[in-house]
Structure 1
Amino acid sequence: MKTTIKEVAKEAGVSISTVSRVLNGRDRVSRHTINRVREVIEKLQFQPDFVARTMIMKRTSTIGLIVPQLSNEYWALMSEVIQDELWARGYTTLICSTDNEPDKENAYLRMCSERRMDGVIYCSSPHYGLAAGEQIEALKTAGIPLVSLDPNIAGVSCVIGDHLQGTYIAVEHLIRLGYGRIAYIGGPAVSIEREFGYRKALMMHGYTVDESLIRVVQGQSFADGYEGLQSLRASGIAFDALFCGNDLLAFGAIKAMEEAGIRVPEDVAVVGYDDIFSARLFKPSLTTVRQPIQDIGQELVQLLLASLETEPERRTVRKIVIPTELIVRESSGSGQMKA
């Protein structure tokens, strides 16, 4: 038979409200009493009724985390950072991977609203808006705090990587090394600002953007990078360097070149984006644009907790831009440095 909170209180010699305060960890209770109640809870194997507690406290201590793809190391690491940050503050995390499918994203957002999550961290694919708009509005109407990573949503606080500048410095690095035919592999699953940064760097250094050197892929995986490079090769277009919208795309492209007998960086220099842990282990080690995952995750959590502690009508919208850094490794080669 299930142990009740009344039995725990009787065994511990305290009131039911004291047991409740210990369970919720909100009010001041002496250390001696806390230890005594916890000993009795363990002894009687008491398990609080989650649904009842949620109804009484009007909170779940659970945060929904929506990410595009856990098989991508960047999102796996980001999820781990966010989960650890929330855990340290007394929250559990429900991680939902959408696999870049709008219907899944829509369903997960609706679930966060229906289950009355305390808040939601929304790390969508950059082409936000197809399926999620209605559910985003439902969360806002319900007063459930929401923060986003990258999608710039009206009325929602966000953390945004400086993708345009990050890509600009990466492509400029290739230009300064003397490369003149720089190709691009990216698409809607990575920030459009990365393509803008690629175009801006070429134009600012006097190059004409050759559209035939740009390959738009639908995903952000190893396979997408592999296929993008195959498409470039099939076109017969010459290129001596390649910028990829993320590191996984770069890995796939390098693999395709390796199979074709194209050497990196001797024949083609390659630069990626994100600086996932594998970038330093890959052969050749990958030159890439570092996004500070730890900093981004912490900023997202701090933004969300600030909203949780503020009444809905008093919440302000904040936008935090995270700077990036070029990490130079083997894959971009030494080239012939220009003055």
Structure 2
Amino acid sequence: MIIKTTIKDVAKKAGVSISTVSRVINGMDRVSKSTTKKVQLAVETLNFYPDHVARAMINKKTQTIGLIVPQLSNEYWALMSEVIQNQLWLNGYTTLISSTDNETDKENAYLKMYIERRVDGIIYCAPSQHLSGDQQQMDMLKRSGVPIVTLDPSVVGISCVTGDHLLGSFNAVEHLIQLGHRNIAYIGGPVVSIEREFGYRKAMMMHRLNLNEALILTVNGQTPKEGYRALQQLLASGEKFDALFCGNDMLAFGAIKALEEANIRVPEDVAVVGYDDIQSASLFKPTLTTVRQPISDIGKELIGLLLQCMDQEVGNRTPRKIVVPTELIVRESSGVGKQDETFFFHEER
């Protein structure tokens, strides 16, 4: 049977009071160097680990942030998680990361777990229509008082950081239109950001082009497999299209594979543009024209917003929205024949 060492044991070993041990462990002042050394030696000798649950109850802080993302297998979310985790570490916080696979039940379970573990804040990156559409979930968060920030502005009452998806998508589709394409398909939906579809629609309407609803496909995931299936469905429909805009790069990779298998050349027969500019976009063949989101900037803004929210009382938290600019990166897949110079890894990543 293993007997757990207590703070009382450490105090007895070091010949000091329990409060002195507590001050040393928590890095507080008013403890002499000689006493600090005695306490540290006792801690090492007894192999003592502080009870973080008890400490959290006293300090009302766990120094832990909960992060919820859709899929860690998706390169974009893996990079975003890495940025957030590293930035939180620099601010003195550890990160609990949960991947939901876009399943609402998992999101509910993780949110409940974070609240029960008394995390100091939550960064919610899963599809926001789940959060905003689940009143029970929203009520649970409000009752808990846990600060939360998200990546989507559609969740009312919660601060968010978002890329300028409407303009980014508009620029991507306008790029295809300027290249002479008129029958432009779109693969996306709420799971990647409904604003990207709005940007697609706006560009088509602003240029007075026919908006064929049969060329707009909604997917339930963000993976190449979803893009592959959607493109197969589009080909089977017999609808004519000469360009394709995808709601993220992973969908574009799958769509291009389906096009190649159907002996349709990219970009000679169909031009393709993605969204996000993950690292693989500049390594894929053909290199992918896409809309770059500055992942590092978005991650830092999310953390800054959350830390600000954590410093405020529950009743004084005013929701804020931060919009981060995007940039169209032109490469081979849209048919221009130009490849951006940063072929390998972008510095911010």
Structure-2-length-normalised TM-score: 0.89
1:119-268, aligned counterparts within 5 Å?
Answer: 119-129=121-131, 132-268=134-270
What is the rounded CA distance, in whole Å, between the counterparts of 1:166 and 1:209 in structure 2?
Answer: 19
- Three-state SS of the structure 2 residue aligned to 1:45 is coil
Q: How far is the alpha carbon of 1:302 from its aligned partner?
A: 1.0
What is the rounded CA distance, in whole Å, between the counterparts of 2:335 and 2:37 in structure 1?
Answer: 61
- Three-state SS of the structure 2 residue aligned to 1:127 is helix
What is the rounded CA distance, in whole Å, between the counterparts of 2:127 and 2:32 in structure 1?
Answer: 46
Alignment equivalent of 1:4, drawn from 6, 17, 39: 6
Shift of the 328–13 alpha-carbon distance from structure 1 to 2, 3 Å rule, reads farther
Shift of the 31–286 alpha-carbon distance from structure 1 to 2, 3 Å rule, reads farther
What is the rounded CA distance, in whole Å, between the counterparts of 2:137 and 2:152 in structure 1?
Answer: 18
Asked if the contact 1:128/1:151 (under 8 Å) is kept, the reply is no
> Larger deviation: 325-334 or 122-131?
122-131
Q: How far is the alpha carbon of 1:304 from its aligned partner?
A: 1.1
- Three-state SS of the structure 2 residue aligned to 1:274 is coil
What is the rounded CA distance, in whole Å, between the counterparts of 1:34 and 1:173 in structure 2?
Answer: 65
Alignment equivalent of 1:48, drawn from 42, 47, 50: 50
Alignment equivalent of 1:73, drawn from 72, 75, 79: 75
What is the rounded CA distance, in whole Å, between the counterparts of 2:82 and 2:286 in structure 1?
Answer: 27
- Taking only aligned residues, the RMSD between alpha carbons, in angstroms, comes to 2.1
- Three-state SS of the structure 2 residue aligned to 1:215 is strand
- Three-state SS of the structure 1 residue aligned to 2:130 is coil
Shift of the 22–79 alpha-carbon distance from structure 1 to 2, 3 Å rule, reads farther
Asked if the contact 1:102/1:132 (under 8 Å) is kept, the reply is no
Q: Counterpart of 1:101?
A: 103
Shift of the 318–151 alpha-carbon distance from structure 1 to 2, 3 Å rule, reads closer
Shift of the 261–29 alpha-carbon distance from structure 1 to 2, 3 Å rule, reads farther
Structure-1-length-normalised TM-score: 0.91
Cα shift readout 1:288-337 (whole Å, capped 9, x = no counterpart): 111111111111111111121222222222111111111111111128xx
Shift of the 34–281 alpha-carbon distance from structure 1 to 2, 3 Å rule, reads farther
Q: Counterpart of 2:119?
A: 117
Amino acid of the structure 2 residue aligned with 1:99? D
| Residue 310 (structure 1) aligned with residue 291 (structure 2) | no
Cα shift readout 1:124-176 (whole Å, capped 9, x = no counterpart): 21423476432232222222111111143222111122111110000111111
Asked if the contact 2:170/2:202 (under 8 Å) is kept, the reply is yes
What is the rounded CA distance, in whole Å, between the counterparts of 1:63 and 1:148 in structure 2?
Answer: 13
What is the rounded CA distance, in whole Å, between the counterparts of 2:118 and 2:44 in structure 1?
Answer: 29
Q: Counterpart of 1:90?
A: 92
- Three-state SS of the structure 2 residue aligned to 1:60 is coil
Asked if the contact 1:102/1:130 (under 8 Å) is kept, the reply is no
**Size of the alignment, in residue pairs?**
334
> Larger deviation: 219-228 or 123-132?
123-132
> Larger deviation: 11-20 or 162-171?
11-20
- Three-state SS of the structure 2 residue aligned to 1:76 is helix
Q: How far is the alpha carbon of 1:227 from its aligned partner?
A: 0.8
What is the rounded CA distance, in whole Å, between the counterparts of 2:6 and 2:115 in structure 1?
Answer: 30
Q: Counterpart of 2:296?
A: 294
Runs (4+) of structure 1 exceeding 6 A deviation are none
Q: Counterpart of 1:334?
A: 336
Structure 2 unaligned runs (5+)?
Answer: 338-349
Asked if the contact 2:152/2:161 (under 8 Å) is kept, the reply is yes
What is the rounded CA distance, in whole Å, between the counterparts of 1:128 and 1:2 in structure 2?
Answer: 42
Amino acid of the structure 1 residue aligned with 2:194? I
